[in-house]
Structure 1
Amino acid sequence: MDATVYLPLLLPLLAVPVTRWLADRCHPRAATWALVVTAVVVAAASTLSLGLLAVAGLTRVTASAVPVGVVAGVALTAAAVAFVRVGARHVRTLREAYAEARLHPDSDLVVTSDEAPIAYALPGAPGRVVVSTGMLAALDAVEQRVLLAHERAHLANRHHLFLAAAALAAAANPLLRPLRAAVAYTVERWADETAAERVADRRSTARAVGKAALATRRTAAGHPAALHAAAGPVPRRVAALLAEPPTGRGTRFRAVALAAVALLALTAFSSLDAADDLHELFEATGLTAR
């Protein structure tokens, strides 16, 4: 194997900031997809590269492969353990959320008699929007529409799956943790923009997001898998709603987007090329016949 096997382990240092730059300058829907696709591709490629290095060291195809293979094997084991733990936690919380959603079969909107301001989207089949009378009392009619549209956007666009994919990728490769945090923000912005489109009033949407956040700042309610309208950096979300939505246009944006695509393609190609090199090395040394 040549040096290409190491590229998927190093390219995240470029791919992560480039993708985050793009995400800040395009619609939150496109930003979320870009962040998650980048995270998944890079995590898969880096995991494959670690596996190839570990196998090369285990089989001792070259003398220099052994110490590198040991380090790669340790890193791969740690990544696998983290991936399984995060995956098991997400599966468990989603199963509990689905079970809780089935307790309310009559409507997708569940209004609880609670003076505490509570509002969240609960994933399920179908999902449910849970809101308390305290939260409804804190908002006017238009703001209530914004709140419900926001939470329903989380369910309709299956934002919990985007969050799970980003979390699993970050577990496999810790360098991707900034993308996991960025996805948590962009899904909220995605829901904000959807709500603003539904009510056709960006200022009222911004006001509803701010009021919901202020009302729930001391409330810790809902399921671990729930998505809250007051989540994320609220001042930044409000400022984004008071401005024009990003369009992702311009020569500079297109150039950086092409660079990001090239980085992803190079990352995937490097892993596949390294796998092919290892196979050829096995054939040359006769290891495939063992």
Structure 2
Amino acid sequence: MRIAVYVPLLLSLLAPFGARPLAERCEPRLATWLLTVSSLVLGAASTVSLGLLAVTGLIRFPLIAELGHWSARSAQRDDPTELSIALAAGLLLGGAVVAAARMLSRRARTLATAALDAACMPERDGLVVVEDEAPDAYALPGLPGRIVVSTGMLHTLDETEHGILLAHERAHLACHHYAFVALAQLGAAANPLLRPLATTVTYTIERWADERAAATSGDRKRVARTVGKAALASRRAPVRARAANAALGILGRRSPLATAGPVPRRVAALLAPPLRRHPVLAVATAAVLTAAALATAEAAHDLHVLLAGVGAG
């Protein structure tokens, strides 16, 4: 195998450095799409690269080589990949497959539970009000979804802010933000190097919902005030587990990104003019993903040539 097989792994190592610029400089909807697709493509490309490397190691074992009518001796002679690297790739591949499968299974169960909970909740126009003095509000995916608001949150906000809150949560449901989070996490499960991308998606979907609320209300400053007010109120109340961990709320998902101050960043973004689509960052992201896809295809071709050669040997 030549250098192409290592390109997706190298790009996965560098990709997290672009997550913050995308989140801070690019319009939230576009940033969410770019980050989610990047996590999926790089996760898939790096997994395929590990698989290709693992195959080069497997065909060096006579018992396995005989199954494909290959020559183990020719494979050892013609392939420059070290056996130790191929075996390490095989172990990493196994871990990636298991992690991705567990993530998919867990996410499917939680979304199914969330949908069942949403269907069983008494609601009015999709809104569920729960008697709880702890300020909280979140969107619960389902068919249809539900917006859950505590009485504590309703008492915290005034009538105008109630409308902003509902617009924010409706944006989560209408734009299927839970799907973006799940897909980004799938890529990160297959390749842990991509976790910063998945974490950043949990921030950009909140920014996306903020901008939808601002467009609905026509008052960016009022939306910023509502976000800050809700966040301050939540500090005085304990955070409890939400249904199936599938909820998305105005307070934002609790994640390692919170240590970087996501709420102040969201408020600052709302107080500034709306971000525009950043063509340079979009083109750069597309170039990275194209390079990963082409490198993976080239590596697969290299393996095909190798197998054809050792099969004839």
Structure 2 length normalisation: TM-score? 0.86
Aligned to 2:100: 83
Q: Is the 1:20–1:35 Cα contact (8 Å) retained in structure 2? A: no
| CA distance in 1: counterparts of 2:20 and 2:30, whole angstroms | 12
> CA offset at residue 15 of structure 1?
3.0
Alignment pair present for 1:270 and 2:295: yes
> CA offset at residue 214 of structure 1?
1.6
Residues 150 and 42 of structure 1: CA distance in aligned 2, closer, same or farther (over 3 Å) = same
Aligned AA (2:301): D
Q: Is the 1:136–1:144 Cα contact (8 Å) retained in structure 2? A: yes
> CA offset at residue 256 of structure 1?
4.1
Matches within 5 A, 1:70-149: 70-104=87-121, 106-107=123-124, 108-149=126-167
Q: Which residue of 161, 165, 171 maps to 2:183?
A: 165
Q: Is the 2:36–2:201 Cα contact (8 Å) retained in structure 1? A: yes
Deviations 1:177-210 (A, max 9, x none): 1101110100000001101111111111011111
| CA distance in 2: counterparts of 1:47 and 1:245, whole angstroms | 37
| CA distance in 2: counterparts of 1:100 and 1:79, whole angstroms | 31
Tell me the matched-pair count: 284
Q: Is the 2:15–2:194 Cα contact (8 Å) retained in structure 1? A: no
Q: Secondary structure at the match of 1:257?
A: helix
Q: Is the 2:137–2:149 Cα contact (8 Å) retained in structure 1? A: yes
Q: Secondary structure at the match of 1:230?
A: coil
Aligned AA (1:50): L
Gaps of 5+ in 1: none
| CA distance in 2: counterparts of 1:255 and 1:104, whole angstroms | 45
> CA offset at residue 121 of structure 1?
0.5
When structure 1 is superposed on structure 2, of 177-186 and 228-237 the one drifting more is 228-237
Q: Secondary structure at the match of 2:121?
A: coil
> CA offset at residue 105 of structure 1?
6.1
Aligned to 2:14: 14
Aligned to 1:52: 52
> CA offset at residue 264 of structure 1?
1.0
Residues 280 and 70 of structure 1: CA distance in aligned 2, closer, same or farther (over 3 Å) = same
Aligned to 2:251: 230
Q: Which residue of 239, 251, 274 maps to 1:220?
A: 239
Q: Is the 2:34–2:285 Cα contact (8 Å) retained in structure 1? A: no
When structure 1 is superposed on structure 2, of 50-59 and 232-241 the one drifting more is 232-241
| CA distance in 1: counterparts of 2:246 and 2:215, whole angstroms | 26
Q: Secondary structure at the match of 1:280?
A: helix
Aligned to 1:285: 310
Q: Secondary structure at the match of 1:286?
A: helix
CA RMSD of aligned residues (A): 1.7
Q: Is the 2:41–2:289 Cα contact (8 Å) retained in structure 1? A: yes
Residues 255 and 137 of structure 1: CA distance in aligned 2, closer, same or farther (over 3 Å) = closer
Aligned AA (2:246): A
Q: Is the 2:8–2:296 Cα contact (8 Å) retained in structure 1? A: yes
Aligned to 1:62: 76
Q: Secondary structure at the match of 1:11?
A: helix
Q: Secondary structure at the match of 1:131?
A: strand
| CA distance in 1: counterparts of 2:230 and 2:18, whole angstroms | 32
Aligned to 2:212: 194
Deviations 1:3-33 (A, max 9, x none): 1111111012333323542332121000000
> CA offset at residue 258 of structure 1?
2.5
> CA offset at residue 154 of structure 1?
0.5
> CA offset at residue 248 of structure 1?
3.1
Gaps of 5+ in 2: 61-74, 253-257
Q: Is the 1:112–1:131 Cα contact (8 Å) retained in structure 2? A: yes
Aligned AA (1:219): P
Aligned to 1:156: 174
> CA offset at residue 174 of structure 1?
1.1
| CA distance in 2: counterparts of 1:126 and 1:278, whole angstroms | 47
Aligned AA (2:9): L
